[in-house]
A and B are shown apart, each in its own frame.
Chain A
Amino acid sequence: MNTHDQIASILKAALDLSASSRIEPQQRLKEDLAINSLKLVTVLTELCDVFGIDVGSFSVTDIRALEHVSDLTSLVERETHA
């Protein structure tokens, strides 16, 4: 499973979406998936646990800059390749 697929799987779990739902890289977190700031922090925390990223790695600036699903993928890849 690639990074995007793993992230999509976490998003589906966090948003209570069915397994057959489609999560695309270009989808906007807020407008398309209705992820508010509370939910986004939950998603990031779960991503850290699944990918073994230090939970303190993401700065407030990192988090506020997230717009699309692909931004999550880039952030995770940045940390896992660091």
Chain B
Amino acid sequence: MEARLETTYYPSLLSSTTITLTRQYDQKSDWNYRRRNNNLKKLQEIRSFSDNWDGYNAKPFDNRLIQKVQNLIKTLTFQPELFPTPSGAIQLEYDSKDGNHLEFLINQSDDVEVYCEIEGVDSEHNIQFSELEGEITSLYDRYIS
């Protein structure tokens, strides 16, 4: 898939602009692909955590949670950074260059905790796991990309 700029009057400009935009798209796509693979590797590592993995008595992760997050990661167009939490949940994070920040806390229940810092103002709300992919896309488009 390529990002293209159409023009009739400046064919030389068109060719150089098209190449630049295509390169930018490829770089972002490569970056997402690498991050996706890193996230999947990290999940495998988290799956192998044993008792007291953080040194403060955290418990091992439930396999069903790992599987649930793994399936989500495979479907996401924009890959987050992914972290385990000592309370047994998985946290996904996005940061924009201008300081906006999104967190999605996924645990074994159907509830997902969403935390946003947008232009310095923070807010929290809960959604269902089934709504998560749409919520990520919507918030990412508005505040991160």
| A and B associate in one complex | no
